[in-house]
Copies of this chain bind each other. A is one copy, B any other.
Amino acid sequence: MKQEHNQNIEKLIEMVKGVRVCMLITNEQNAENLSGRPMGINKIDDDGTIWFFTKASSPKVDEIEESKKVSIAITNESSNNYLMIHGIATLVNDKSKMKELWSSIMKAWFPLGLDDPDMTLIKVIPKEVNYWDSSSSKMVVLFNLLKAIVTGKEYAEGEHGKIHL
């Protein structure tokens, strides 16, 4: 079961690594209107956690403070990656983490570099992941990683759980 979990995380990482820009969707709790905006994916960790840089003053930060439930939509024709990721977002104001994730390309958004006071990280832990097989003539959900990732998190924290895919 653990092996299957790891394979799913590896598949997620493989697909997300081929993608530069996703649509980060916030404000899900308010039925009035979803908020979506394109975001560059900064990094995906080995456990599937996805990182973004953002301006601390941006509306999305307020929206995440109000509701941490977010989705990440990816429709990338060139890399043939189609994913819908549902997860939990956290704001991380850790300068050492920013330093770790920083790359010179970020200067386009943050000309002041790491000294910019208006900078924060968004950390998204995926709770449910659907992806579509682009090599098939039909697009089908191959599997849902929800339980795997939730249980995987439990593994990482020293607990054990059953994975049913």
Contact = CB atoms under 8 A, between A and B. Distances in A.
Interface of A: 19-23, 25, 28-29, 31, 33-34, 36-38, 69, 71, 73-79, 82, 84, 86, 108-109, 128, 130, 132, 137-139, 141
A77 B138 contact: no
Report whether over half of chain A's contact residues are helix, strand or loop; otherwise say mixed: strand
Contact of A138 (B36, B86, B108, B130): B108
A77 B78 contact: yes
A23 B84 contact: yes
A139 B37 contact: yes
A13 B22 CA distance: 21
A101 to B, nearest CB: 19
